[in-house]
Amino acid sequence: NEKVERGEVRLRALVEALVSDLSPLAAASNLHLINNVPEELTVFADASMLTLIFQNLISNAIDYTPNGEVIIEAQKIKESAAIECWVSDTGAGIPADRLEKVFDKLESDPDKKSGMGLGLAIVKQFVEAHDGQVAVKSEPGQGATFRFTIPDKAKVGQEHDS
C-alpha cells in the first residue's frame, strides 16, 4: 500500500509545471492545455502522487483529443473540507459500455496501443489513498471530464510538526 506523504501543495503551480512539461506533446496533436486552477487554492496532499494523478489525466486527455482543448480546473467545495479538481477534453468521448470500467486495471481501449487502463487505475488508487473520490462523465462526441476530490486540510492527527 502506498504511503501518503501529505503536505500543503499549491495546486495552480503544480498544474502549471505539468502543463509546461506536456505542452510539446499537446502541440503535436494541435491541442491547447488550459490551466484554470485558481491561484489561491491549496490542498493537503502528497505532491508526487498529486502530480501523477494530474499527469495521467492530462496525458490521457491528450491521447484521446486529436485537436481542441484540455482544460484543468479546480474549486473549493464549500460544504466539505475538500477541493474538487477536474480535467475536461473536447475529444471523442467514452462509450457508455466502457465508462464504468475505465478505472479498472486491465481495461484498455482496443483503439489505442498504449491502453489507458493502468494510468487511470493509478489515478483511482492515489485519489482513494487521500480519502478522495474519482468519477468520470462523458458523452460520445462530447469529450470526457474526469473529476476527483482531495482534502484541503489536515485531519486531526495528520499535521506535521513544523
**Model pLDDT for residues 133-162, shown as the tens digit of each residue:** 999 999 888 999 999 999 887 765 544 433
Structural domain includes residue 109: yes
Number of domains comprising the chain: 1
Higher pLDDT: 18 or 108? It is: 18
Rounded-to-integer distance, Cα 1 and Cα 16, Å: 29
The closest alpha carbon to 16, from 30, 32, 37, belongs to 37
Structural domain includes residue 156: no
Structural domain includes residue 158: no
- Lowest mean pLDDT, pick from 50-54, 100-104, 105-109: 105-109
Higher pLDDT: 12 or 159? It is: 12
pLDDT above 80: residue 24: yes
The C-alpha cell at 93 is 468521448
**Residue range(s) defining the domain that contains residue 146:** 7-151
Structural domain includes residue 128: yes
pLDDT category at 2 given cuts 50, 70, 90 is: low
- Number of neighbours of residue 36 by Cβ within 10 angstroms: 13
Rounded-to-integer distance, Cα 11 and Cα 20, Å: 14
Structural domain includes residue 161: no
- DSSP H helices, 33-100, are 47-64, 96-99
CATH number of the CATH domain containing 80: 3.30.565.10
pLDDT above 70: residue 117: no
- Number of neighbours of residue 91 by Cβ within 10 angstroms: 24
pLDDT category at 109 given cuts 50, 70, 90 is: low
Q: What's the average model confidence in pLDDT over 88-100?
A: 90
Rounded-to-integer distance, Cα 161 and Cα 28, Å: 45
Q: What's the average model confidence in pLDDT over 90-114?
A: 74
Q: Assign 134 to helix, strand or coil.
A: strand
Higher pLDDT: 112 or 43? It is: 43
Q: What's the average model confidence in pLDDT over 9-25?
A: 96
The C-alpha cell at 3 is 504511503
Q: Count Cβ atoms within 10 A of the Cβ of residue 106 and give its class: 0-12 exposed, 13-18 middle, 19 or more buried.
A: exposed
pLDDT score at 62: 93
Structural domain includes residue 22: yes
Structural domain includes residue 102: yes
Return mean pLDDT, the chain.
Answer: 87
Structural domain includes residue 113: yes
Q: What's the average model confidence in pLDDT over 121-128?
A: 94
